[in-house]
Amino acid sequence: MLRLSHSKGQFFFISLMLIVIFLSGIQALLAGFSDIDLSKPFQNQEDFWFWNIKDQVTRTFDQRKCPGLAADFVEIKNMTENYLATKGIYFKITNTTPICPAGPVRIEMNMTSAHLNIFDNFTLTSS
């Protein structure tokens, strides 16, 4: 009789250990699904850059006058196109109408990367 109760204790202990090992294994398999990747928002900043460049061009047109405006636009164009090219992003900004003399200027912007393609055209007024 004493031997039978000893076997029940062993069975209970072994069963408990198997359940703990099984639950630990399931937890290890599912652990990757609860991780939060904080680097994801910073991998694709192309859309932020695009709208930020548009905002900068708009501010330049609001603050500068001809003929300095034309030189500033060329500087923004060259700087942004060269910088984004080093990042592997094709970016093109052009004015389809002349900046000086003062009047409406049509601007076209195009950005192409591995993740997205954005195009926008808008009209600003040079002064």
pTM score over 0.95: no
Asked if 54 and 95 sit in the same domain, the reply is yes
Residue (of 83, 62, 86, 87) closest to 72 by Cα position = 62
Asked if 62 and 112 sit in the same domain, the reply is yes
Asked if 76 and 52 sit in the same domain, the reply is yes
pLDDT at 1 over 60: no
Asked if 54 and 21 sit in the same domain, the reply is no
* The total number of structural domains that make up the chain: 2
Asked if 62 and 92 sit in the same domain, the reply is yes
Domain span at 101: 45-126
Residue (of 125, 98, 120, 124) closest to 49 by Cα position = 120
Euclidean distance between CA atoms 19 and 10, whole angstroms? 14
59, part of any domain? yes
pLDDT digits (tens, 9 = 90+) for 48-90: 888 899 999 999 888 888 888 888 889 999 999 999 899 888 9
39, part of any domain? no
Cβ burial 53-70 (10 Å sphere, 16+ → b, else e): bbeebeebbeebeeeebb
pLDDT digits (tens, 9 = 90+) for 20-57: 999 998 888 887 777 766 666 555 678 888 889 999 99
